[in-house]
Amino acid sequence: MSHEPQEAYDGPARVQVDDAEHEVSVALRGHFQPLDGHFHWYGRIAATAALDAVRSGTEVRLATPYGEAAGRVSDVDPWGRFRVAGTGTPPF
């Protein structure tokens, strides 16, 4: 499925951690950073028990209906959502 490049995506996604894949809900945003010449995307993965064992700094593969990309999870907010970020072509 192809679509025009977007700066935001809210909806269902799959996150792959090691060999396990989990259905999740995400809120993602992104922008082109002219200082380094790359597109930076970032957002939150909704709280789910399937990701309870994930630690900050874990590499993940995030896929939406529009694409997929490698990213890294970091802090967990007070609502249990993971922050996820990547550089390059976004998964949306």
Q: For 17-61, how does the pLDDT look when each residue is reduced to its tens digit (9 = 90+)?
A: 988 999 999 999 999 999 999 999 999 999 988 888 888 899 999
Q: Are 24 and 82 a contacting pair, CB within 8 Å? A: no
**φ and ψ at 19, to 5 degrees?**
-100, 5
| DSSP summary character for residue 23 | E
Is 2 part of a structural domain of the chain? Answer: no
Residue 30 lies in a domain: yes
Query: Is 3 part of a structural domain of the chain?
Result: no
The answer as to whether 42 is a domain residue is yes
Domain span at 75: 8-87
The predicted structure's pLDDT at residue 4: 56
Domain count, the chain: 1
Alpha-carbon distance 53 to 28, whole Å? 22
- Percent of the chain scoring above 70 in pLDDT: 95
Residue 92 lies in a domain: no
Q: For residues 51 and 54, give the distance between their C-alpha atoms in angstroms, rounded to a whole number.
A: 5
Q: Is residue 13 part of a domain?
A: yes
What is the per-residue pLDDT for 1?
53
The pair of three-digit structure tokens given for residue 14, joined into one six-digit string: 């799959």
Q: Is residue 41 part of a domain?
A: yes
pTM, two decimals, is 0.86
Is 11 in contact with 26 (CB distance < 8 Å)?
Answer: yes
DSSP symbol at 50: G
